[in-house]
Amino acid sequence: MSSNSNIEYIKAEENVHTSKVWNLTLLDQSCYPMVIRGTWIFDKQLEVNILKAGLKKLLNYYPTLCGRMKNKTSINLTNDGVPFTEVDESDLSLKDVNKIKKPIKHFSTEIKPSKIIRGLGPLMSIKITKLNDGCVLGIQCSHMCMDGDSYYTMVYNWGQICKKEDFTKPLLNQSLMPTSENISKEEVIKDAYEERWMKISKWSLLKLLPKFISGILQERTDAFYFSADSLNKLKQKIIAENDFTCSTNTALSAFITKMCMGLFKHDENTKYKQVTVANIRNRLEGIPSNFVGNASTFVTTPPFSADASIDKIAKIIHQTIEPIRKTPSPEVKKTMLMSLNNMKYKLLIFPFDFTKLHSKKPTLIHINNFSKLHIYDIDFGFSKPVSVIPHDLGDQILIWPAHPKKGGVEVYFAGMPARIIHKLEKKDSWIHEMKKYE
């Protein structure tokens, strides 16, 4: 494989923020080790000069992305720029992309949290790779700057700028986020325990190190596809047998949770919890849909037994999520304040024992749903992507949109579930059950 490349640092067109400092929230700071990596595959060439011109305008709205860390709690809006790399790999075609080992890494320029935190590296990088019948766009971004909602919206806005079309202007105002309360460490611990939050021992964390080092937690399955029709049937079946209006997300989460319970083969009395990652925009007072930053929380069900039916699990998930659907939601505010209070004192107290995600036979099912975000809507004026490789943040279970022409969603398993699934025979009944929804 031959290639040649060149790199240019793209800066905001309007250099107006260079003396300002962007203070990170406690939630932003907690995301320091994480990098969001997006990979879009196009069957046409993208005009690089149009992308660069659009990026210069985009960075006017997102000055944090071309700044540099001042210290561990803030970013200098220096406008030092975002590295934009062009690579020519015309000996490759679209069909070769998924044959490449670790395509996310291959088609993007690595940004390193260890350098970012010391002010020595950029907070975002962009790489465009030319193929003989299309191209690949890889974008890496520090999770400290934004969560998945903000990230995919930012890339969508870049496309809108390139096409000279309207978009909802992003709102960068960290003062809108709540701050930790002025209470003692002892009070914080007492409040957390009253809500049945759990303390994670340092020994439990140390026991996870071999799994991080071995790469088990980076394993991921291929996609399991669920058609739109099968999702609707799954939802309607639950609605017919219950007294609540079940959402598609709840129905699919209940099914996946039940399938995981079968995969791990626990005793029927084993207790499980299911965790949903929830966007708090429009649910936390003062945080609108266009807020840029980290604005999500975990919603954890009460424990239920391994012999629980899909219907029962769906009802438990529904009852757990329903309070956060309110606008605004008192439940979201309470959870956020407790999280921030614990972060303030650097306490290892959480609403669930996340080490159980990574045990040999997990008893915690963690689901992150990206199916409603601007992922396949990206269009720089040439064509929309023919495929988008899911980011590799390591969500235990990731729900991802299938291509719009196909409809439905894709489900990926990572970590210990992926390790177990990879050992199953192709004719295994578990695989057959997952694939019958295609």
**CATH of the structural domain 4-145, one choice from 1.20.120.450, 3.30.559.10, 3.40.50.2300, 3.40.50.300:** 3.30.559.10
8 A C-beta contact, residue 70 and residue 18: no
What's the Cα-to-Cα distance from 199 to each of 122, 340, 357, rounded to whole Å? Answer: 35, 15, 15
Residues 6+ apart with CB under 8 A from 361: 264, 265, 266, 416
Distance from chain centroid for Cα 410: 15
Residue 3 pLDDT grade (very low, low, confident, very high; cuts 50, 70, 90) = low
Mean pLDDT in residue range 222-245:
94
Record the pTM: 0.95
Q: What is the DSSP string of 193-243?
A: HHTT-EEPPHHHHHTTHHHHHHTGGG-BPPPEEE-HHHHHHHHHHHHHTSS
Domain extents for the chain? 4-145, 209-435
**pLDDT of the residue at 13:** 94
Angle at 244 between CA 241 and CA 247, to 5 degrees: 95
170: preceding bond cis by omega (within 30 degrees): no
From the number of C-beta atoms within 10 Å of its C-beta (0-12, 13-18, 19+), residue 91 rates as: exposed
For the chain, the residue count is 438
Residue 95 has pLDDT above 70, yes or no: yes
**3-state class (DSSP) for residue 367:** strand
pLDDT (tens digit, 9 = 90+) per residue, 291-350? 999 999 999 999 999 999 999 999 999 999 999 988 899 999 999 999 999 999 999 999
Comparing 4-145 with 209-435, is the CATH topology the same?
yes
CATH of domain 209-435: 3.30.559.10
**3-state class (DSSP) for residue 4:** strand
Percent of the chain with pLDDT over 90: 88
**3-state class (DSSP) for residue 53:** helix
Residue 14 has pLDDT above 90, yes or no: no
Percent of the chain with pLDDT over 70: 99
